[in-house]
Structures are given as C-alpha cells and as structure tokens.
Amino acid sequence: MYVKIFSQIYDSSIAEDYLVRLVFEDLLILADRDGHVDMTVAAIARRTNVPLRVVNRAIEKLSSPDPDSRTPDEEGRRIVLLDPHRSWGWRIVNYANYRNIRNDEDRREYNREKQREFRSRRARSDASLTVKRCQQCQPRQKQKQKQRQRRKTSQRLRLRLLSFPIGFLSMFGTTTRKCARKSALR
C-alpha cells in the first residue's frame, strides 16, 4: 500500500523531533486503507528496522494531546488506540482526510480525462446537430424564397399602380369585391 505524504508535515509540531516524524511516516505507510495500524510496537520496530525505544517514544508523543496541532480532533493527537482494552493497535486520526485530498498531478489527470470525455460527447452531438440543421434549413430556405417572391410581386404592383389614372384607384376602392383587385391590376 502507498500513502500520500504532504510537505506540510515539515511545518507541523511533530517535525520538531525528526525521529517522531519518521516513525509517524512509517505508521502512515503501514496503515491499511482506513488508517489502522493493527500491530504491536515490537512488530512495528521489526518491520521498519527502527529501534524499539525510538518507536515507543514516538508512539507516546503521537498519542498524547498536542495543543499546537492544526486539527482539534482528539485533542490534537495524531494516533489513538483502536481498542482501549489493548496497549497496541492505532488509528491515524486524519488519515482519511489526507488520503482524499487530490494532489496537483491527480487533479490534472482527472481534468484531462473529463475534458476528453466532454470533447468526444460534443463531437458526437455536433455531428447529429449538423444533420438536424440541414433538415431544418430546407423549410427556412423555402420561406425566404417565398418572402423574396412576395417582395418582388409587391414592388411590381406598386409600379403598376403608379401607371393607372388617379380616378381608377378611387373607383376600384369603392367596389364590394376587393378580392379581384390583384387580378384587375395585372
């Protein structure tokens, strides 16, 4: 198993004693995915090849309250016993919080993948939209042709109206059947 160790560990209060920090980093590496280190002090010392007295002293320091800790959980303790009836086996207090933080490279990779998916979805939808647009364009083009034709017709009618005598138009406006006006003007 691996663990992310952030550089802010050097700014924490456990960095005052480098041996405590190193044992804490070893505990992070030995922890399972839930942040549990279910081992005795002797097993930790053997596994990490760190002297037993150093591991004992570090565990004592890590499990005691720390008023300078950034996290007030568990009174600033870095580790707590898994079972109060045992003298071994610990849970790393902030393990899940730090495990869930994405580092910059993970975030970039995630964004690259999401951008790839977005572009492929957009390319597929753009292709279908192009076909739809072509089908939608045909009626619009026909409407525009009809509008152009109407304009030309109305322009021709205006020109013809100007060529009629003035009295003719006033007489034509008094007739009851106005529907024949266009055909009469032609």
Written as one string, the DSSP assignment of 41-85 is HHHHHHHHT--HHHHHHHHHHHTS--TT-S--GGGG-SEEES-TT
Beta strands 79-81 and 90-92, pairing class = antiparallel
* Whether residue 109 sits in one domain with residue 49: no
Q: Is residue 35 part of a domain?
A: yes
Report yes or no: 82 and 36 within 8 Å, Cβ to Cβ. yes
Q: Distance from first CA to last CA of the chain, Å, rounded?
A: 93
Number of domains in the chain: 2
* Whether residue 144 sits in one domain with residue 88: no
* Whether residue 127 sits in one domain with residue 90: no
Locate tokens 């995630």: which residue?
A: 110
Tokens representing residue 125 in the block:
């939808």
* Whether residue 121 sits in one domain with residue 49: no
* Whether residue 35 sits in one domain with residue 111: no
Domain extent at residue 147: 104-185
* Whether residue 108 sits in one domain with residue 94: no
* Whether residue 86 sits in one domain with residue 147: no
What are the tens digits of pLDDT across the range 38-81? 999 999 999 999 999 999 999 999 999 988 888 878 888 999 99
Q: What is the dihedral of CA 144, 145, 150, 151, to 10 degrees?
A: 70
Q: Residue 51 and residue 22: Cα distance in Å, rounded?
A: 12
What are the tens digits of pLDDT across the range 99-115? 777 667 778 888 999 99
Distances, alpha carbon 105 to alpha carbons 2, 9, 100, 114, in Å = 16, 19, 14, 14
pTM exceeds cut of 0.85 = no
* Whether residue 44 sits in one domain with residue 56: yes
